[in-house]
Amino acid sequence: MTTTTLAVLVPLLPFLGAAAGLLLGRTAPGFVRPLAVLPTLAALVLAAIVAVRQGGAEAVNAATELTPTGSIPIELALHIDGFAALVAVLVGLVASCVQIYSTGYLRDDPRYPSYAALVSLFTSAMLLVVYSGDLMVLLVGWEVMGICSYFLVGHYWETPEARAASIKAFLVTKLGDVPFLIGLFALATDAGSFRITKVLGAVASGGLDHPTLIALLLLAGVAGKSAQFPLHTWLPDAMAGPTPVSALIHAATMVAAGVYFVARLLPVFEASQAAMVVLAVMAAVTMTGSALAALAQDDIKRVLAYSTIGQLGYMTGALAVGDRGAAVFHLLSHGAFKALLFLAAGVIIHAAGTNSLAAMSRMGHLRDRVPDAYWTMTVALLALAAIPPFSGFFSKESVLGAAEHVATGHTEHAPGAAGWVVLVAGLLTALLTAAYATRLWLLAFRGQGAEAPDHGREPLTMTVVLWVLAVPSLAVGGLAYRVLPDWFDGRDLTPTLTTSVVGTGVALVGGIVTYAAWRHTTALAARVPLGAVAAHPEGDAALVEAEAIASHEPAYGDIAYAPDPADPGRLLLGPLHRHAAVGFHLDAVYSALFVRPVQAGAALVRFLDREVVETYVRGAGATPRALGWAVRRAQTGNVQTYVSALLAGTVVLVVAAVLVATGA
């Protein structure tokens, strides 16, 4: 089979799996698990073959036009370069792991068939986005991902948190998608085609008339999908979905789609200096703010969610300094270790019966209950904190190196200001990242207090994939930075000495300070008993998680926050803690700025409709009613009245007829 055929099969197989799963889900439950896992695994294998064949050489381009669509043709096009091939492998890997993990995680869930089908559909859509060479086809996958995300976040729709989160995720991403769509149209109008190759060709020849406008419109969609400030607020709430979904969609793949999109069209953005600066500022605000917020979260998954936002900020920062190789490198390594973090967090939540770090810090020997999760999560957290030699170190150093490269004025790809902004924010975030990673590890695994309950070993499907994902987190980074430039633009990804030393230094400082703070506060933990565990710890992991999410707010007063004086984050952040816990009140600001005016407008419209328009309608109805009433009064039932009227009419008619006949 040719590479093109294989590449077509990669998104097609999960799609067929999803369709078959939806069709057979009720009638043949035995086929659901194979239908969920096997197409995804096959897609992974095919994606790997495609990547090997492509091998960083010339991009594979293939296109077929289904039907003429007017002035600007839309084609089913493939554009597979090194980025696409490697990202597809990552997507296939994470999706396969998540599908396998889900068979254990949602073991007893009655809605597993539709869940698995949606995950397959999502995988297919993501692979379509990755491989697509046509912006319209890319947009199709982009929107299908949004729909799948909506359904999967709302998987536990019995809980109000999940319902609210799914609607919020959908609305906020759509808010970004509308300008994104307009931007795509503007881009296609300027370039004369939706084909990425032709667009890039037009950019290279300076054919773009409105580069800033187009770049900013596209950035809105990217910010929505990749959860960048100011449209990031949906991602922490989306943790109300099942943990595998969070791992696949909200950590490794879908949120990376925005970054991937910018990486593909980076020349378009580079055409506008203003857009690059905006991108840099956006990245800087996102990464520092989210790192601060992550330090204050109580829900383990929300910590990881804010961490995801921050790491995505690194990627957009790399893009802002014009180095898409670094961005995609970080995307790949982050996809691996963040998926691992989420999956391990799912195991921990199942074992602990709670998603609250405050409650976990009061459980002894939790790490002995889940040794696989303990070790793999340690690896992943070290990667997250960018400690050498884990993969996160190399990818993050490549980002920081690129920023330093721009800041010191060695390249004309991006403005120097963008480089400085990204560099400073990146170093600050490295400090904070190490801090919240340490806090997470300490609170989750170094808890003291009552023995953690033993619910038996976790299912094998859930632990094996942790080790599978631990391998790239652990080792790949060191090898990749030498190989990857062949696949990418050819730019060097080797960490520079300065940034490596500084970055690792601040990370170590952050970790050590947090450890000191934890030592200081952990004595308080015993004094303040706190915590609630799920009511059905013997159930499958999904049930435990749903109960943990639903009980967090009643138990602690807030979905993101616990009044725990033993929290080292509280000591580190000081007065900032309260604001960081609620995401710096951004939701409240949005509520005041948008929700309440809209609701007031709706109330006004309702008033106008009920009181004003309705009055006219009632009036229009009342007039015929009154007329009908008047006419009805004539129906007295008295025959004599009827005959009187009849004869009176007859007389009048006869007289008239006689007069006419006689010509009077």
Residues that bind other proteins (CB under 8 A): 632-633, 635-641, 643-644, 647-648, 650-651, 654-655, 658
Min dist. Cβ of residue 660 to other proteins (A)? 13
Least distance CB 643 / other proteins (angstroms):
6
Spatial CB neighbours of 43, under 8 Å, sequence gap ≥ 6: 9, 10, 11, 13, 14, 92, 95, 96, 123, 124, 127
Distance CA 318, CA 157 (A): 37
Distance CA 86, CA 48 (A): 8
Cα pseudo-dihedral 290, 161, 223, 43, rounded to 10: 110
Beta strands in 234-279, from DSSP E residues, in sequence order: none
Give the CA dihedral 586, 589, 593, 597, nearest 10 degrees.
Answer: 110
Q: How far is the CB of 622 from other proteins (least distance, A)?
A: 19
Name the minimum Å distance from CB 625 to other proteins: 14
Minimum distance, C-beta of residue 631 to other proteins, in the bound complex (Å): 9
Least Cα distance to 318 among 410, 434, 219, 423 occurs for 423
- Quick one: 591 or 644, whose CB is closer to other proteins? 644
Q: Going by C-beta distance under 8 Å and a sequence separation of 6 or more, which residues neighbour residue 489?
A: 324, 325
Count of residues making up the chain = 664
Residue pair 470/390 in contact by the 8 Å Cβ criterion: no
**To the nearest whole angstrom, how small is the minimum distance from the Cβ of residue 638 to other proteins?**
5
Nearer to other proteins, 498 or 636 (CB): 636
Q: Which two tokens stand for residue 485?
A: 């430039």
Distance of closest approach, residue 634 Cβ to other proteins, in angstroms: 8
Closer by beta carbon to other proteins, 66 or else 630? 630
**Cβ closest to other proteins, residue 71 vs residue 640:** 640
CB of 651 to other proteins, least distance (A): 5
Q: What's the CA dihedral at 306, 310, 315, 317 to 10 degrees? A: 150
Give whichever of 615 and 650 is closer to other proteins, judged by the CB atom: 650
CB of 658 to other proteins, least distance (A): 6
Q: Which residues contact 363 (CB under 8 A, 6 or more apart)?
A: 352, 447, 449, 450, 451, 452, 531
Which CB atom, from 5 or from 650, has the smaller least distance to other proteins? 650
Question: Rounded to 5 degrees, what angle do the CA atoms 263, 495, 396 make?
Answer: 50
| Residue (64 or 638) nearer to other proteins, CB | 638
For 76, the enclosing helix (H) or strand (E) is strand 76-80
Name the minimum Å distance from CB 653 to other proteins.
Answer: 10
Cα–Cα distance for residue pair 153/524, rounded to 1 Å: 36
- The gap from C-alpha 381 to its chain's centroid, in whole angstroms, comes to 21
DSSP result, 437-468 = HHHHHHHHHS--SEEPP---PPPHHHHHHHHH
Q: How far is CA 4 from CA 8, 60, 63, 122, 575, in A?
A: 6, 8, 10, 21, 57
Closer residue to other proteins (CB): 620 or 658 = 658
Instruction: State which residue, 527 or 632, has the beta carbon closest to other proteins.
Output: 632
- Whichever of 71 and 635 has its CB closer to other proteins, that residue is 635
